[in-house]
């Protein structure tokens, strides 16, 4: 069994399934998961300060931790960008009934907050079936 499998077994599942009772517990699991990641990252940050030490072993571990943190920061930025692109693409669709197209419309600052049905152009149109 890998460390990842052990941690997942200890913390429990974090992926929502659409059932409020189950998903409430999974949000608690997700918080435990995030707390663990925070602590592990802090351990790496604490180790990375050794990157400029004169002792070869300390310097090596510091450089390795620093390089990993840089790579992780880049990976997280790419993942965040991909999520934001997916959100934008989802909002750039049009209503199949009234053909309102959001491609050139203001997207309600969606990266900051979700639009409400009162202000969002994608609110259900008044045509039949919506």
DSSP output for 50-116: GGG-SSHHHHHHHHHHHHHHHHHHHHHHHHHHHHHHHHHHHHT-B-TTT--B-TTS--TTTTTSPPP
Residue 108 pLDDT greater than 80, yes or no = no
Domain boundaries, the chain: 3-85, 92-130
C-alpha span between 12 and 86 (Å, rounded): 28
Higher-scoring residue by pLDDT: 122, 22? 22
Does residue 18 have a pLDDT over 60? yes
Residue 17 — very low, low, confident or very high, per pLDDT cuts 50/70/90? very high
Question: Average pLDDT for residues 98-125, to the nearest whole number?
Answer: 46
Only one residue has tokens 């900051």, namely: 112
Confidence of residue 103 (pLDDT cuts 50, 70, 90): very low
Region 14-40: mean pLDDT is 95
Q: What is the pLDDT of residues 50-94, one digit of tens each?
A: 999 999 999 999 999 999 999 999 999 998 888 888 777 766 555
């Amino acid at each position: 069994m890998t460390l990842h499998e052990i941690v997942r077994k200890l913390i429990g599942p974090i992926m929502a399934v659409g059932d409020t009772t189950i998903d409430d517990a999974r949000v608690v699991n997700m918080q435990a998961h995030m707390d663990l990641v925070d602590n592990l990252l802090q351990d790496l940050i604490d180790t990375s300060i050794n990157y400029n030490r004169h002792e070869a072993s300390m310097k090596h571990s510091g450089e390795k931790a620093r390089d990993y943190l840089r790579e992780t920061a880049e990976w997280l930025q790419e993942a965040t960008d991909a999520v934001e692109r997916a959100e934008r693409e989802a909002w750039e669709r049009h209503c199949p009934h009234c053909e309102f197209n959001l491609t050139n419309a203001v997207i309600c600052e969606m990266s900051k907050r979700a639009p409400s049905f009162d202000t969002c152009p994608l609110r259900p149109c008044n045509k039949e079936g919506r």
